[in-house]
Chain A
Amino acid sequence: MSVRNTEKLCLAHFWVAFAAFVIAAILGVYQMWVRSPLGAKVGSPSLYFLSVTAHGTAMAYVLTTFFIMGFGYFVAVSALDRPLPGRVWAWLAYWLALVGVITATVTVLAGRASVLFTFYPPLTGSPFYYIGLVLVVVGSWVWCGIMIAAMTAWKRENPGVPVPLAMFATVANAVLWLWTTVGVAVELLFQVIPSAFGWTQTVDVGFSRTLFSWTLHAIVYFWLIPAYIAFYTMVPRAAGGRLYSDTMGRLTFILFLLYSLPVGMHHLFMDPEHGNGLKFIQMLLTVFVSVPTLLTIFTITASLEIAGRLRGGRGWFGWIAALPWERPMVLAVGLAFVMLGFGGFGGLINMSYGMNAMIHNTSWVTAHFHLIFGGSVVIMYFAIAYQIWPQLTGREHASLRPLRLQLWLWFIGMMVMTLPWHYLGLQGQWRRVANFDYTNPIIASWGPWVVVSLIGGIILLASALLFARNLIVLHRSAAVASIRPLFALAVHPPERVPAALNGFGLWNALVLILMIGAYAYPIAQFFITPSPSAMVHRMD
């Protein structure tokens, strides 16, 4: 299985992603330190919010988009075993997106866009921050086009053959991303950038929050799907077993495409610009998006059970110990599932309509997304990188021990950092605070737990640095990679699948219908009865 001269393209994307990741991890520790009693007299609000903007932008927009693009190019050539179409476009997109990253980064570091990665108007920074983000998104749209083109060309050359699951899921993600970015693109192009340039002085805040919510939830599934691609197509092979059901894999990715989008307003449960009825409908739709994850945990656990029993495990749980935990991909999925349990639990509470009031904008929310994204998803990004780096570099890991150590440190750090945040959130600790007044008795009682969280963050930083080290040394490793199969076989490899499980025409139509049902009235109301607009508030 060759990667047909796309090694450089993949590595270029991955290195941007991981460089942003390491820098953001350092900023994260700084932020946690100044928020804690230990750093109460250190730093300043302007430095803190600059850091939070940089950290959020790097982790949520750069690490993710560049990793996903690089991984997508890798899957497109390795799963389909054909050259990448439009390689010139892929490189152009890369450079465009990189220019966008540099533009946004310089603007943030100059202190001219401390608006946080959610950049809620009327707070408005320098237009170059937003333009930088737009360039990254446009680059990613080119990636989407290439993914779709690759699958389309393969289907033409292989009529009637099921698209390999890894590519089917990658294209599902590309289609999802095209739909997802509409919300933020409209917000940026028609509201935020015009006001950032000073062409408008007021902004409809309710409308901008609604547009952003369109993107804000679906984007996390854009981030998550590569981890699930690893669960379904790489983990069973790495564990020495088979995927329990290829069909369920296809259904899972289709369900994510359908239900990631029309649920964004669950981020607006506490907002006054929408009423109960619409909020309840979005809650119901959110419940549907929990289903593919609940299905996945069964299917992947069953796949692992096959592997464990093949290795001699017996009884109800003996197969667990029998798994090859020394392999990083297997260790990663085990740790990912534990974090998914805790993170998913938090998500169930968040989505439960009125119950959201207990925890909205508290540290519980911060805990939830660090655990589920930073934890379960990013640990799989590490595992994917470890798994495919030998193929990209032609070199082998000298030892797997530092890889396993790095994964364990990530897991331990994430749990130690986020579990106290759940507790503190229920106590009322609120978000995005540069420093707490520890003379207040309520806040003082939180102090010790904030320090515990800080320790977790420091462990995470150690893990992040070790991750970078593990990849860097591979480039200079003497060993040559032995070619081994990467993608898993299903218990029943499909010979034929219905067209609905091999393409996205039907599903795109359904997405359109669902989005009209979920967002048409909420958006239309801003034109029928516009909200009184607010004055733009400049942060540059």
Chain B
Amino acid sequence: MQMVSPDPGDEIDDAALASVMGDVPRGAAMLAGAAVALLVIGWVLIYLLIFVPRGVIG
């Protein structure tokens, strides 16, 4: 990846990265996990409350 002089404001040093990587990806797992759980719950609700009651089709 080609880049010119790194943006001074966003220079990341190894120590800082090592320090945060101890916690990552707990937060992401929680957030993404909650989102996916909501998706699945929503799917199941639509299945049980709308799809099946509307009658058999084939």
Contacts and interface: CB of A to CB of B under 8 A. Distances in A.
Direct contact of A and B (CB under 8 A): yes
A301 B4 contact: no
Interface stretch (A7-15, A402-410, A439-447, A486-494): A486-494
Contacts of A53: none
Interface stretch (A23-31, A106-114, A341-349, A370-378): A341-349
Contacts of A487: 1-3
B16 to A, nearest CB: 6
B47 A301 contact: no
B20 A355 contact: no
Given A1-B2, A79-B1, A79-B2, A305 B7 contact: no
A306 B3 contact: no
B26 to A, nearest CB: 7
B43 A316 contact: no
Nearest to B54: A358
Most chain A C-beta atoms within 10 Å of own C-beta, residue among B5, B27, B36: B27
Nearest to A233: B1
Contact of B7 (A306, A319, A484): A484
* Chain A, interface SS category: helix
A200 to B, nearest CB: 36
Most chain A C-beta atoms within 10 Å of own C-beta, residue among B1, B23, B25, B46: B1
Interface in B1-23: 1-7, 9-10, 12, 16-17, 20-21, 23
Most chain A C-beta atoms within 10 Å of own C-beta, residue among B4, B28, B35, B47: B28
A486 B3 contact: yes
Nearest to B57: A357
A250 to B, nearest CB: 14
Contacts of A70: none
Nearest to B4: A483
B30 A493 contact: no
Which of under 10, 10 to 19, 20 to 34, or 35 or more describes the interface residues of A?
35 or more
Nearest to A299: B28
B3 A341 contact: no
Nearest to A296: B32
A240 B9 contact: yes
Given A78-B2, A357-B57, A489-B1, A341 B20 contact: no
Most chain B C-beta atoms within 10 Å of own C-beta, residue among A305, A354, A358: A305
Contacts of B1: 79, 164-166, 487-489, 493
Given A78-B2, A426-B50, A484-B7, A306 B24 contact: yes
A279 interface: no
A304 B20 CA distance: 12
Contact of B21 (A80, A306, A349, A352): A306
A349 B16 contact: no
Nearest to B51: A355
Contacts of B31: 301, 317, 320
Nearest to A239: B10
Nearest to B35: A341
Contacts of B39: 341, 344-345, 348
Contacts of B54: 358
A493 B1 CA distance: 9
Contacts of B42: 345
A316 B50 contact: no
Interface string A454-476: 00000000000000000000000
A426 B45 CA distance: 14
Contact of A298 (B4, B23, B25, B26): B25
Nearest to A309: B20
A317 B27 contact: yes
Given A352-B43, A357-B57, A242 B12 contact: yes
A349 B3 contact: no
Interface string A183-200: 000000000000000000
Most chain A C-beta atoms within 10 Å of own C-beta, residue among B7, B12, B17, B20: B20
A294 B24 contact: no
Please give me the 9 A-B residue pairs with the lowest Cβ-Cβ distance, nearest first.
Answer: A485-B3, A309-B20, A302-B28, A302-B25, A301-B28, A81-B2, A240-B10, A305-B27, A298-B32
Interface of A: 1, 78-81, 164-166, 237, 240-242, 244, 294, 297-298, 301-302, 304-306, 308-310, 315-317, 319-320, 341, 344-345, 348-349, 352, 354-355, 357-358, 426, 483-489, 491, 493
12 contacts: A244-B25, A301-B25, A302-B25, A305-B25, A316-B30, A341-B35, A345-B42, A349-B43, A354-B51, A358-B51, A485-B4, A489-B1
